[in-house]
A and B are shown apart, each in its own frame.
Chain A
């Protein structure tokens, strides 16, 4: 996801670390973090994913005044076959994620994220049905233009619900 401004904030890191069950105080206690090797609160390894919060066009977040494909009165808020709005990239699942850390982001950094499309390829699913894979490479840079994290994600679009 392309993001113009991704500020690395202490409360966001605290909430993110809680949500992944990570009790390490380096993610919530500034005094403790000051005495660790990084020297301050840093982002947990998968935190770059939360840059979605700062992507104005992110499709998996309900937007004010716009239709949303989750349930309300009906099981979905958008009509079947409707291609206009409603959010989501229905049928796409996350197949792979890779991070390369050049420097771990810390509180106070303000990142930008730029996206390069990668390869796409197809595979037959185990239970039949075509699987379409597509790759994106995202580069996260700090306020000085220094490359901090390179992220490579692979999404897979399935023609039917994936099963174990």
Chain B
């Protein structure tokens, strides 16, 4: 399951489709599980008429959570040591999202082998919605 440093090279990539045609119900589901009930994500009337957005939009943390699944599927369970992102554009109902991890460096820190990854999530129009980095422990 885990990645092996000996089989990795800088520039290698792993990608996954996170969601196709994101549903409003998934935003409700994320609100319920995370506890973030901000109406901007589930209440269209409030979001259009009070907040001034065209519709509800996804929690940034939902996009990060979906991107995290791509990462852990790649690096293995419990292997991440760091994961950080910037939210660069909003994600709307109906969006398709694809995430890609690119190997940036292979290194050793206090005897632990690590891989540094660049992480990017884009929508159907190739607009980057999330940009970040992650580090994971790898086997020799």
* A interface with B by C-beta (< 8 Å): 12, 15-16, 18-22, 24, 26, 36-38, 42, 44-46, 49-50, 52-53, 55, 58, 60-62, 69-71, 75-76, 88, 90, 93-101, 104, 152, 160-164
Are B64 and A46 closer than 8 Å at their CB atoms? yes
B107 within 8 A of A: no
Q: B65 touching A96 by the CB < 8 A rule? A: no
Q: Which residues of A have CB within 8 Å of B85?
A: 96-98
Residues of B within 8 Å of A101, CB to CB, are 80-83
13 contacts between A and B (CB under 8 A): A21-B66, A36-B77, A45-B65, A45-B80, A49-B34, A49-B65, A55-B35, A71-B43, A71-B50, A95-B86, A98-B83, A101-B82, A104-B80
The answer to whether A50 touches B60 (Cβ under 8 A) is no
The size class of the interface chain B forms with chain A is 35 or more
Instruction: Determine if B115 is an interface residue (Cβ-Cβ < 8 Å).
Output: no
CB neighbours of A18 from chain B (8 A): 29, 33
Contact A75 B64 (CB under 8 A): no
* Residues of B close to A45: CB separation below 8 A: 65, 68, 71-72, 80, 83
Tell me whether B77 and A37 are in contact (CB under 8 A).
yes
Residues of A contacting B: mostly: loop
B78 and A104 contacting across the interface, CB-CB below 8 Å: yes
Query: 8 nearest interchain CB pairs?
Result: A98-B84, A20-B65, A70-B39, A52-B35, A53-B35, A22-B69, A45-B68, A38-B78
Selected from B32, B80, B87, the residue in CB contact (under 8 A) with A94 is B87
Within 8 A of A (CB), among B1-36: 1-2, 18-19, 26, 29-30, 32-36
Q: Is the CB of B35 within 8 A of A37?
A: no
Q: Is the CB of A96 within 8 A of B87?
A: yes
Given contacts A75-B46, A161-B52, contact A50 B1 (CB under 8 A): no
Chain B nearest CB: distance from A9 CB in Å?
12
Interface bits B74-110 vs A (CB < 8 Å: 1, else 0): 0011111111111101100000000000000000000
Counting chain A CB atoms within 10 Å of each CB, the highest count among B35, B37, B43, B68 belongs to B35
> Does A12 lie within 8 Å of B33, measured CB to CB?
yes
Please tell me if B112 contacts chain A, counting CB pairs below 8 Å: no
Q: Are A61 and B37 in contact (CB under 8 A)?
A: yes
